[in-house]
Structure 1
Amino acid sequence: MHAVTILKPLIARNRSWALQQRQRNPHYFRKHVAGQQPQALWIGCSDSRVPAEVLTGAHPGELFVHRNIANMVLEDDDSLMSVLQYALEYLQVSAIVLCGHYGCGGVQAAVALPAMSLAQEDSALARRMAHLRHSLEHNLLDYQQAEGNDAARLNRLIDAHVVTQFTHLISSEPVRRRWEQGKVLDVFGCVYDLQEGHLKELVHQNAAEVGHELQHSA
């Protein structure tokens, strides 16, 4: 019975939303049937408070979306890497937005991991948190010694986490291949502020910059 009470309101809101869209534009849904041509790939956190389309005001067809715990970029993550390859090679997106958020529970769990029972588990979540803890390691000392309240210290750690995952992203084989082919691709690292509802850009890399680096490394 509980599952029904959850699903029924979702279906009702869906019907209301669909009706509103058709009233504004009778062809709203028809134009999406033939296929998709999103401009950007969004890699974000699975946190229910950070829905990509809602916080950006995007319409169906504008964003190709992948979300996972703590918006991590791991080259052995077949789910993420297949999404990345598909977005770049088949959908030909011209931008990638990697987005973390303040108050990230994944980052908080990674910080506390040694004291958690999760650290003793052999599970997918435990392995994920161990990867995250390892990626944060070089920033943890600064976090522990930093002044300020806990929320501000955590936010600075989350900024550093986004930059680290951004580095993994621009070093990944699909992204490097795209740039080496001379194709346009802008990659952004952003953070979302839950309290303000605002996105903030932390870091950006584009094809021209990478092309310049490749020439100098050749």
Structure 2
Amino acid sequence: MTTLKPLLAKNRSWALQRRQRNPHYFDNNLHQQKPHSLWIGCSDSRVPAEVLTGCHPGELFVHRNIANMVIDNDDNVMSVLQYALEYLKVSRIVLCGHYGCGGVQAAVALPGSPLNNADSALARRIGQLRAAISPALTAFHGGDDDESNRQNHLVEANVIAQFSRLVASEPVTAAWRQGAALDVFGCVYDLQSGHLKELIQQSTEEPSP
């Protein structure tokens, strides 16, 4: 029978190691949190925000979903965004995708997938993702690069698409209009090297074309 004991044992070991290195480690965040950044990333288990950035508890406010999507009628991501900006006063937002994203791969394969005719939260989300990257799908299907490179380009295209939604969202534009010092970054994580790469950055609201 599966139990929680292995995770509990690792938790106790981790907590003990932290206290041994710093007896006040947990006291610093006991009564409040003051994260410097909001991280919007993919739910993929290989892309844990705190681990790959070397952050400690209290440094990152984190929202993760399939394919790091930003959808303005998604109360989950929008409430996290509003809370991070209005109450926690974060000064940085990092939107992070990753190469080898299963969500992007599912969006590419959607027309021939059982999800295409399904009525479920996952099917709707993958459909929305395919729509977001649709401008890049033509290049994907007609490109000369090997499939791995073309998949990587699609991941980057998704980051750019979600970034555009993020910087146009009401919480972000409101923060900039109120004079907040806020930097927004679009990044991609390389599973093979463990490195983050910055794709795009914006620090002020840009006029509509």
Shorter-chain TM-score range: over 0.9
**DSSP-derived class of the 2:55 partner:** coil
- 1:124, 1:173 → 2: CA distance? 24
- 1:9, 1:151 → 2: CA distance? 36
Alpha-carbon displacement from aligned partner over 1:27-59 (angstroms, at most 9, x marks no partner): 101111111000000000000000000000000
- For structure 1, list consecutive stretches of 5 or more residues without a partner in the other structure: none
4+ long deviations beyond 2 Å: none
- 1:51, 1:183 → 2: CA distance? 28
**Larger relative helix fraction:** 1
Is 1:23 paired with 2:20?
A: yes
**DSSP-derived class of the 2:35 partner:** coil
Q: What is the aligned length?
A: 208
Deviation at 1:8, TM superposition (A): 1.1
Percent identical among aligned pairs is 65
Deviation at 1:147, TM superposition (A): 1.3
Question: Normalized against structure 1, the TM-score is what?
Answer: 0.94
Q: What is residue 129 of structure 1 aligned with on the other side?
A: 126
Question: Normalized against structure 2, the TM-score is what?
Answer: 0.98
Deviation at 1:148, TM superposition (A): 1.6
**DSSP-derived class of the 2:149 partner:** helix
Deviation at 1:146, TM superposition (A): 1.1
Alpha-carbon displacement from aligned partner over 1:81-105 (angstroms, at most 9, x marks no partner): 0000000000000000000000000
- 1:10, 1:66 → 2: CA distance? 22
Deviation at 1:149, TM superposition (A): 1.3
- 1:118, 1:206 → 2: CA distance? 38
Q: CA RMSD in A?
A: 0.8
Show the 5 A alignment for 1:1-218.
1-2=1-2, 4=3, 7-207=4-204, 210=205, 213-214=206-207
Alpha-carbon displacement from aligned partner over 1:154-203 (angstroms, at most 9, x marks no partner): 00111111001000000000000000111100000000000000000000
Alpha-carbon displacement from aligned partner over 1:99-139 (angstroms, at most 9, x marks no partner): 00000000000000010011111000000011001111111
- 1:176, 1:123 → 2: CA distance? 32
**DSSP-derived class of the 1:43 partner:** strand
Q: Match of 1:182, as an amino acid?
A: G
- 2:98, 2:168 → 1: CA distance? 22
